[in-house]
Structure 1
Amino acid sequence: MKKYLPEGKIFNSPENRYYLQSERTMAEAMAQGLILEGHAVLCDSEHNIIVELPFGKGIIPRSEGAIGIQEGKTKDIALLSRVNKTVCFKVTDIVHEKGEVICRLSRRLAQEECIERYISTLTSGDVIPAKVTHLEPFGCFVDIGCGLPSLIPIDAISVSRITHPNDRFFNGQDIYAVVKSCDEDRICLSHKELLGTWEENAALFSTGETVGGIVRSIEPYGIFIELAPNLAGLAEPRENVRVGQAASVYIKALIPEKMKVKLIIVDVFENSVFPSKINYFITSGRLTKWVYSTNECYKNICSEFV
Structure 2
Amino acid sequence: MTDSRNFEDPTADKLETQSGDPARSNNSDAPEVETEDFASMLESYGAIESLRVQVGDKVGGKIIHATADTFFVQISPTQEAFILKSELVDAHDKLSLGLGDEIEGFIYTKRGGIELRRKIGGDSIDIVMLEQAKNKQIPIEGTVTGTNKGGLEVAIGGPRGFCPISQADINFVEDAQAMVGQTYEFLIAEVKENGRNVVLNRKALLQAARKEKASTLLAELEVGQRRKVRVTRLAKFGAFADLGGIDGLIPISELSYGNVQSTEDAVKEGDDLEVEIMRIEEDPKRPGQPRIGLSLKAVLPDPFIAHADKLHEGSSFEGKVVRVQKFGAFVELFDGVQGLIHISEMSDRRIRHPRDVVTEGDTVSVRVVSFDPEQRRVGLSMRETPKDVDTSSIRIGARVKGTVERIESYGLFVSLADGGKALLPAAETGTTRGTDLLREFPIGTELELSVIAIDEQGRIKVSKTARDQEEERSVAEAYNRSQSGNGKGFGTLGDLLKIKRNK
User: Which has a greater percent of helix?
Assistant: 2
Which structure would you say has the larger RCO, counting Cα contacts within 8 Å and 6 or more residues apart? 1
> So what's the TM-score if we normalise by structure 1?
0.47
> What is the TM-score when the length of structure 2 is the normalising length?
0.32
- Larger Rg over CA atoms: 2
